[in-house]
Structure 1
């Protein structure tokens, strides 16, 4: 009897069959194989006006969720190996079209940018009241049965009750009953008797001092908005903790800690923090410097950078990270999406949501989050927490800027397997033979990406000296 192929070598048809048969690891492999390809496809189809309103990661996750839900009901038949990619791309673009149509409706015109009101006519809920309601509604949502939660997610993704019923194998009447139950629950939440969380003394900023203007991005823990600070008449960035994390004590403490750690760092290459605030509904938000530009992930999705520009940016990022290290802070999640470049070319490091102090015990950060493709192996394993993690991150960042892709691809377990088998990333000069990437640049990146921290550069100054010697 022929030996079964390793799962990593299966084509898409075989992999889907494995998942339907309940084989462990098949779902993770499907996600790791296709999610990274879907993101640039979705970004490419989002107009510039809507880039701040539509999160490609949300579209990708929704598309993958719909795919698995419908695949479980045998709704897909793959005739050729490449059909799975075409199917996932079609589902994603269909989700995107619905989201664009929703944002482009007259009541949400992309040609108008109106601040969210902080004062409301008598008898109508204010912005603060609405925020409070959403905080409570989110907690109530998590108490719903799993099937009811699935119905709501698909409904918010634009699926009709009939489509949801077909996908879940339920009757349309059952689906409508769940939606009606949710509406009744929300009506109860709107009651003024709803109890709100107590004020946190660490949150010193007042929500009413700010007016939200535009949603500009999202990450694993929070969403980011451009906002106006009324008292000082200036533009700021507000990072709001996702509602789904508001009752997660681990996520809340990490979010609050980001404010504390950022306050220790003062450098022009690190986004400054103004402080921590709390909604009337109990949710937390950070107020940060506003950077008029874009993150580098969006930049390299269009085209990877020339060598000289990539090295210029890395030197600026390294200076910001050195300032963090001087304050005993380790960033721990360096990647293109966490580097902002202003229209004038200023480079700033942002998103210290997974940052840590050097004195923190490593075990406290096991499973901490972050983007595995750019994380140092010891961070994935939770075995170490020191400044060499950011040396690895700088090497991965430079790799991404030059090639347009991360140094490693796969789930955390697959990346650790690559490292255990001594599989090194392809040299950037091989990935991008059209660029004039020198041997010295290759060596700098691969030394940063050494699995053994002892083989990396000792510190930021040594790395900077090596970068400056490259012509």
Structure 2
């Protein structure tokens, strides 16, 4: 991210209010850095045959937008955003290795004739998922899976409330609420984020 003029806090506010142009702008802004990090870490030629940097980058942004929409992150500066996205990218790349090298699907045993067909089918499925699941639909699905209190926290976070204000409103420790909410979003997010 070479441009420092982008207003991250405003883009995140727009994303939370359901403006897809803001999500697209943020994606275009961050994509080169994320893909460079993923390519650096994606060294196994066997894994690269079935997962490339674009697959993982899309998963990173999918996961990020899901959590931003739910009010999980507080980010104001481009450097904070980059650190967070690169951390997610490292974790997703590690997950891709673990998933693809699991005993039953070990990509090192994939025959080269099957590679192109399998990759084409998987990319087609991902495109269908991306086409069908707009961010608003994804957030609705996330909200359906939240408990009543978690839903209330998500609503307050999207309205811009800080954790200390949420704690005062709900009569609980801000740190306890933050941790509980974070765990819930992570758990639900894993079920909504595409697997490799």
TM-score w.r.t. the length of structure 2 is 0.53
Residue equivalent to 2:12: 16
Inter-CA distance 69–99: structure 2 relative to 1 (3 Å threshold): same
Q: C-alpha separation between the residues in 2 aligned to 1:29 and 1:172? A: 28
Task: Tell me how many residue pairs correspond in the alignment.
Answer: 135
Residue equivalent to 2:73: 76
Query: Are 2:144 and 1:170 aligned?
Result: yes
Q: C-alpha separation between the residues in 1 aligned to 2:98 and 2:19? A: 38
Considering fraction of residues, name the structure with more strand: 1
Shift of 1:54: 1.6
Shift of 1:103: 1.0
> Superposed, which structure 2 residues align to 1:23-62 within 5 Å?
25-49=21-45, 50-62=47-59
Q: Contact between 2:6 and 2:78, CA under 8 Å: does it hold in 1? A: no
Shift of 1:37: 1.3
Inter-CA distance 107–81: structure 2 relative to 1 (3 Å threshold): same
Residue equivalent to 1:101: 98
Q: Contact between 1:38 and 1:60, CA under 8 Å: does it hold in 2? A: yes
Q: Contact between 2:38 and 2:53, CA under 8 Å: does it hold in 1? A: yes
Higher relative contact order (CA 8 A, sep 6+): 2
What 5-or-longer segments of structure 1 have no aligned partner? 1-7, 118-127, 152-163, 180-471
Deviations, residues 277-301 of structure 1 (Å, cap 9, x unaligned): xxxxxxxxxxxxxxxxxxxxxxxxx
TM-score w.r.t. the length of structure 1 is 0.24
Shift of 1:26: 2.1
Inter-CA distance 58–110: structure 2 relative to 1 (3 Å threshold): closer
> Superposed, which structure 2 residues align to 1:41-440 within 5 Å?
41-49=37-45, 50-78=47-75, 80-114=77-111, 146=133, 168-171=142-145
Considering fraction of residues, name the structure with more helix: 2
Structure exhibiting the larger radius of gyration computed from Cα positions: 1
Deviations, residues 259-284 of structure 1 (Å, cap 9, x unaligned): xxxxxxxxxxxxxxxxxxxxxxxxxx
What 5-or-longer segments of structure 2 have no aligned partner? 148-187, 192-196
Inter-CA distance 22–116: structure 2 relative to 1 (3 Å threshold): closer
SS of the equivalent of 1:25 reads helix
Inter-CA distance 23–172: structure 2 relative to 1 (3 Å threshold): closer
CA RMSD of the aligned region, Å? 4.1
